[in-house]
Structure 1
Amino acid sequence: MLSSSYPLDVPEGIYWGREWQWGYYKHPPFSSWVLYSFYYIFGHIGPYILSQCTIALSLWLAYLFGRQLMSKSRAFIGALFLLAIFYYTWPSLEFNHNIAQMPVWLGLVYIFYLAIRENRWKYWLLFGLLAGIGMLVKYTVALLLLTMVLYSLCTPNRRLWLTPKPWLAILLALIVFAPNIYWLIEHNWLPLTYASARSAEDANRNGHLAALGYFGTQLINHLPILFILLFTRTRLSLRPSVQVLRQRDWYFLLWMGLVPTLILVFAGLIFGLGLRDMWGMPMWGLSGLIIVSLIPEPVFISKDKSLLKGIAVWAFIVTILMAVYVGFGARIRHKPSRMDWPQAALAKQADDQWQELSSCKLDSVTGSDWVVLLVASYSKFAPSVMVSGNSAYSPWMSNSRLQQQGTLALWPADEHPQTPWLEPLAHHSELVVKQGEWIVRWNKLPDREPLKVVWQAYIPKKCLKQQ
C-alpha cells in the first residue's frame, strides 16, 4: 500500500522463478522458486507476505533451538531479541537470497545440534536434506557447513565421523544439490565467475581493511539490543552460570554464532575479499540467545517483563519509521528510491503499447534491467526477461525465440543498455520494428521531471495489427 514499486532484488527473483531453472547467473534457484510461487498465489503482495513469513519462521526456529538449551522464558525473549537486530527490520521488506537464508541457518544449527547430541538417523538425514536445500538457496550456506565440520573435529564429536550417519547425510545433501552442480557445469560456473568479478571490484575499491568495516557494520546492526539492555538496566555477566546453560551448550552457541563471521572477516583481511555488509544477514540468528544467556538468573527473573516491553517499544518505533520511509521517503529526500518508481504505470504502458501494435501476447522484454524487471513483474502478460549485457545470463531466451515471438525493448532516455541481440532483429524479414517514447509521471514526486522511456517493439508480421 505504501510502496509504488518492488525493492531492488524482488522483481529479479520473480522473473528468475518464473523460468523454473536449476540455476541462475547470480544464485542457485530455490528461493526464486519460492518467491515466484508466493507471487503467483498471492499476487503483487506475495513477496511481502513471504518476507515476513521468513522472519516469523526464523524467530520460531530460534525459539525451538533455545528451548533445547535454556528455559522457555529465556528462549522466548532470546528469539524476540532478533527483532532488535537491524537485519530483521527494514531489510526484511525485500525478500532476497540473504533473507531466505535466515531460517535455513537457524534450522541447520538446530538440527545439527540434535544430530550430534542424539546421534539418531532421523536427525542426520533431516540435516542432510536441509543442507542440500540450503545450498540451493545460496552458496554461502557452505560457510556454515564448514563451521559445523570444524566444530565436530575440534570437539569429542569427532568420533561421529567413524560412523555412517554423517557420511550418509553428506551423500543426501549432494543428491539434493546435484542438479545445480550439473547446471553449473553446463553454464560454465556462471554464478561463481560473476561473484568473483563482483568481489574483485569491491576489493579494488576498498582494499584488505574493508573486512574491518564489514565487522564494524555487523556490530552496529546489534545496537538496538544494547539500547534495550541499557534502558531496562539489565546487567550481563561475562559467562552464563551452570543453572542457565550447560557449558558445552554455551560453547556450541558461541561457535555457531560467531565463527562464520570470524572466518569471513579473516578471509577478507588475508585475501582482500570484497565483503558486502548484507552477507551478514543470516549469520546472527543466535545473537538473541547468546545475549539472553549472559543475563544472570536473579536479574532475568526481575527484568523479563521489562525486556519484553523494551522489545515491543522498539518494534513499534521501527515499524513506524519503516512506514514513514516507504510512504514519504521520496518527498523527504526529493528523489525516488527503488521502491518509489511508477511500476504499475510502466507495466500498463507496456501492455497497452504492445496490444496496440500486436495481436499476439507479449513474450519477452529486454533493455535497461531495472525498467524491464519492473514491467515484467507487473505486466498481465508475465513476459520473460532478457537482461542486458551477456546473453548467457538469460539461457531461456534464444535468437530463434526472439525472431519468432518478437520482443519489447525499454530503457530510460538517458541510458544506453548493452543489447547486441537487437541489431540483427531489426533486419529480420519476419519482424516489423516500431519505436517511440513514453512520458511517465512519478506518482510520489508530482513536481519531479517525468520519466522518459524509449521503447522499441519487434513485432512478428503474423501478429502485426493494421494501423
Structure 2
Amino acid sequence: MLSSSYPLDVPEGIYWGREWQWGYYKHPPFSSWVLYSFYYTFGHIGPYILSQCTIALSLWLAYLFGRQLMSKNRAFIGALFLLAIFYYTWPSLEFNHNIAQMPVWLGLIYIFYLAIRENSWKHWLLFGLLAGIGMLVKYTVALLLLTMVLYSLCTTNRRLWLTPKPWLAILLAMIVFAPNIYWLIEHNWLPLTYASARSAEDANRNGHLAALGYFGTQLLNHLPILFILLFTRTRLSLRPSVQVLRQRDWYFLLWMGLVPTLILVFAGLIFRLGLRDMWGMPMWGLSGLIIVSLIPEPVFISKDKSLLKGIAVWALIVTILMAVYVGFGARIRHKPSRMDWPQAALAKQADDQWQELSSCKLDSVTGSDWVVLLVASYSKFAPSVMVSGNSAYSPWMSNSRLQQQGTLALWPVDEHPQTPWLEPLAHHSELVVKQGEWIVRWNKLPDREPLKVVWQAYIPKKCLKQQ
C-alpha cells in the first residue's frame, strides 16, 4: 500500500523468471521462477507476499529444528528471536536470492541433522534433493554444504562416508543441479564472472578491511537481540547446561551457526576478497536457538513471557519504522529511493504510447536498466527485457526477434546510454522509428522536478497504425 515501485532486485527477478531459463547472468534460476509464479498468481502484491512467506517458513523451520534439540518453549522463543535480527525484518521487503536462501539453509541444517542422527534413506535422499534445489537458488549454498562436509569429517560421523547413503545424496543433488551446470558451460560461467567482479570491486575499495567490515556488520545486525536481553534483564551463561541441551547438539548448533561466516571472513582476509554485507543474510538462522540455549533453566522459566513481550515490542517498533520509511521517506530525505519511483505511471505511459503507434503487443523493452525494469514488471503486455542491449545477458532476445517484433527503448533524459544494438534497427526496412519524450510526476515528491523519459519505438510496418 505504501510503496510506489518495487525494491531494487524484485523487477529484475520478475523478468528473469518470466523467461524460464536454466540460469541468468547473475544467479541460478530457482528463486526467480518462484518469484514470477507469485507475481503471476497474485499480481503486483505477489512479490511482497512471497517475501513474508519466506520469512515465516524460516521461522517455522527454525522451530522444528529447535524441537529436536531443546524444549518446545525454548525452540519457540529461539525461532521468534530471528525477528530480532535485522535481516529478517527491514530487508525482507525486497525478495531476492538472499531472502530465498533463508529457509533453504535452515531446511538443509534440519535435514542434515536428522540424516546423521537417524542415517535413514529418506533423510539422506531428502537432503540430496534440497541441496540440489539450494544450489539452484544461489551458489553460496555451497558454503553451507562445505561446512557440513567438514563437520562430518571432524566428528565420529566420518564413518557415514563408508556407507552409500551420503554418496547417493550427493549424486541426487548433482542430478538436480546438472541443468544449471550445463547452462553455465554454455554461457561462459557468466554468474561466476559477475560475482568475481563484484567481489573485486569491494576489495579494491576496502582491501583487507572488507572482510572485517563484513564481520562487524553481521554483529550489528544482532543488536536488537542484545537490547531485548538487556531490557528484560535476562542473564546468559557461557555454555548451556545438560538439562537445556546435549553437548553434541550444542557443538552442532555452534558449528552450523558460526563456521560458514568464519570461513568467509578468513577467506576474505587471506585472499583479499570483497565481501558484501547481504551475503550474510541466510547464515544466521540458528542465532536465536544459540542465544536461547545460553539462558539457564531457572532464568528461562522466569523470563520466557518477558522475552516474548520484548520480541513483540521490537516487531512493532521496526514495523512502524519500516512503514514510515516506505510511506514518507522520500519527503524526509527530499529524494526518492528505489521504492519511490512512479512505476505505475511509467508503465501506463509505455503501454498507451505503444498502443497509439502499434496494433501489435509490446514484445520487449530496452534502454536504461532501472526504468526498463519498472515498466516491464508493471506493463500489461508483460514484455521481455533486453538487458543493456547485451544478448549474453538476455539470451532469449536476438536481432531477428527485435527486427520481427520491434521494441521500445527508454531512458531518463539525463542518462542517455550508448545504444549500438539499436542502430541496425533504425535502418531496417521493415521497422518504422518513432521517438519522443514523456514527463512523469513523482507522486511522492510533488514539488520535485518531474521525471523526463526519452523513448524510441521501433515498430514493425505490419503493426504500424495510421496517424
**TM beyond 0.5:** yes
Residue 388 of structure 2 aligns to a residue in which SS?
A: coil
1:428 matches 2:428: yes
1:64-463 paired onto structure 2 within 5 Å: 64-388=64-388, 390-463=390-463
Q: 1:417 Cα deviation (Å)?
A: 2.5
Partners in 2 of 1:174 and 1:284 — Cα distance? 26
**Does the Cα contact within 8 Å between 2:129 and 2:172 map onto a contact in 1?**
yes
> Once the two structures are superposed, what CA deviation does each residue of 1:249-274 show, in whole Å capped at 9, x if it has no partner?
00000000000000000011011111
Q: 1:418 Cα deviation (Å)?
A: 3.9
TM-score, normalised to structure 2's length? Answer: 1.00
Partners in 1 of 2:253 and 2:452 — Cα distance? 54
Tell me the matched-pair count: 467
Q: Higher mean Cα deviation, 446-455 or 201-210?
A: 201-210
Partners in 2 of 1:39 and 1:464 — Cα distance? 31
**Does the Cα contact within 8 Å between 1:389 and 1:418 map onto a contact in 2?**
no
Partners in 1 of 2:423 and 2:296 — Cα distance? 70
Partners in 1 of 2:94 and 2:326 — Cα distance? 12
The alignment's C-alpha RMSD in Å is 0.5
Residue 434 of structure 2 aligns to a residue in which SS?
A: strand
Q: 1:389 Cα deviation (Å)?
A: 5.4
> Once the two structures are superposed, what CA deviation does each residue of 1:25-78 show, in whole Å capped at 9, x if it has no partner?
000000000000000000000000000000000000000000000000000000
* CA shift in 2, pair 1:297/1:20, >3 Å: same
Partners in 2 of 1:290 and 1:198 — Cα distance? 32
Partners in 2 of 1:143 and 1:418 — Cα distance? 39
Q: Higher mean Cα deviation, 51-60 or 206-215?
A: 206-215
**Does the Cα contact within 8 Å between 2:112 and 2:124 map onto a contact in 1?**
yes
> Once the two structures are superposed, what CA deviation does each residue of 1:211-247 show, in whole Å capped at 9, x if it has no partner?
0000000000000000000000000000000000000
Partners in 2 of 1:403 and 1:104 — Cα distance? 42
Partners in 1 of 2:163 and 2:120 — Cα distance? 11
TM-score, normalised to structure 1's length? Answer: 1.00
Q: 1:199 Cα deviation (Å)?
A: 1.1
Residue 3 of structure 1 aligns to a residue in which SS?
A: coil
**Does the Cα contact within 8 Å between 1:389 and 1:417 map onto a contact in 2?**
no
Partners in 1 of 2:16 and 2:390 — Cα distance? 16
Residue 22 of structure 1 aligns to a residue in which SS?
A: coil
Q: 1:201 Cα deviation (Å)?
A: 1.2
Unaligned residue ranges in structure 2 (runs of 5+) = none
Seq. identity, %: 98
Q: 1:391 Cα deviation (Å)?
A: 2.2
**Does the Cα contact within 8 Å between 2:367 and 2:389 map onto a contact in 1?**
no
> Once the two structures are superposed, what CA deviation does each residue of 1:376-423 show, in whole Å capped at 9, x if it has no partner?
000000000001153200000000000000000000001132432101
**Does the Cα contact within 8 Å between 1:84 and 1:225 map onto a contact in 2?**
yes
Partners in 1 of 2:2 and 2:209 — Cα distance? 39
Q: 1:206 Cα deviation (Å)?
A: 1.1
Partners in 1 of 2:256 and 2:347 — Cα distance? 45
**Does the Cα contact within 8 Å between 1:2 and 1:323 map onto a contact in 2?**
yes
Partners in 2 of 1:254 and 1:71 — Cα distance? 18
> Once the two structures are superposed, what CA deviation does each residue of 1:190-216 show, in whole Å capped at 9, x if it has no partner?
101111111111111110121000000
Partners in 1 of 2:390 and 2:422 — Cα distance? 13
**Does the Cα contact within 8 Å between 2:437 and 2:454 map onto a contact in 1?**
yes
Q: 1:157 Cα deviation (Å)?
A: 0.2
**Does the Cα contact within 8 Å between 2:10 and 2:96 map onto a contact in 1?**
yes
**Does the Cα contact within 8 Å between 1:431 and 1:458 map onto a contact in 2?**
yes
Partners in 2 of 1:42 and 1:247 — Cα distance? 46
**Does the Cα contact within 8 Å between 2:3 and 2:327 map onto a contact in 1?**
yes
Partners in 1 of 2:58 and 2:7 — Cα distance? 21
Partners in 1 of 2:340 and 2:441 — Cα distance? 11
Residue 455 of structure 1 aligns to a residue in which SS?
A: strand
Partners in 2 of 1:412 and 1:381 — Cα distance? 21
Residue 267 of structure 1 aligns to a residue in which SS?
A: helix
Partners in 2 of 1:453 and 1:259 — Cα distance? 48
Partners in 1 of 2:358 and 2:252 — Cα distance? 62
Partners in 2 of 1:271 and 1:411 — Cα distance? 39
**Does the Cα contact within 8 Å between 1:78 and 1:288 map onto a contact in 2?**
yes
Partners in 1 of 2:376 and 2:359 — Cα distance? 19
**Does the Cα contact within 8 Å between 2:366 and 2:389 map onto a contact in 1?**
no
User: Residue in 2 aligned with 1:47?
Assistant: 47
**Does the Cα contact within 8 Å between 1:51 and 1:92 map onto a contact in 2?**
yes
Partners in 2 of 1:80 and 1:197 — Cα distance? 37
**Does the Cα contact within 8 Å between 2:389 and 2:421 map onto a contact in 1?**
no
Residue 465 of structure 1 aligns to a residue in which SS?
A: coil
Partners in 2 of 1:312 and 1:99 — Cα distance? 22
> Once the two structures are superposed, what CA deviation does each residue of 1:407-458 show, in whole Å capped at 9, x if it has no partner?
0000000113243210110010100000000000000000000000000000
Q: 1:103 Cα deviation (Å)?
A: 0.1
**Does the Cα contact within 8 Å between 1:406 and 1:459 map onto a contact in 2?**
yes
Partners in 2 of 1:416 and 1:101 — Cα distance? 36
Partners in 2 of 1:418 and 1:340 — Cα distance? 26
* CA shift in 2, pair 1:291/1:51, >3 Å: same
**Does the Cα contact within 8 Å between 1:367 and 1:410 map onto a contact in 2?**
yes
Partners in 2 of 1:380 and 1:348 — Cα distance? 8
> Once the two structures are superposed, what CA deviation does each residue of 1:343-363 show, in whole Å capped at 9, x if it has no partner?
000000000000000000000
**Does the Cα contact within 8 Å between 1:121 and 1:165 map onto a contact in 2?**
yes
> Once the two structures are superposed, what CA deviation does each residue of 1:146-176 show, in whole Å capped at 9, x if it has no partner?
0000000000000000000000000000000
Residue 381 of structure 2 aligns to a residue in which SS?
A: coil
Partners in 2 of 1:338 and 1:326 — Cα distance? 10
Partners in 2 of 1:392 and 1:154 — Cα distance? 43
**Does the Cα contact within 8 Å between 1:388 and 1:418 map onto a contact in 2?**
no
Partners in 1 of 2:309 and 2:449 — Cα distance? 46
**Does the Cα contact within 8 Å between 1:125 and 1:172 map onto a contact in 2?**
yes
Residue 421 of structure 1 aligns to a residue in which SS?
A: helix
Residue 392 of structure 1 aligns to a residue in which SS?
A: coil
Residue 101 of structure 2 aligns to a residue in which SS?
A: helix
**Does the Cα contact within 8 Å between 2:347 and 2:379 map onto a contact in 1?**
yes
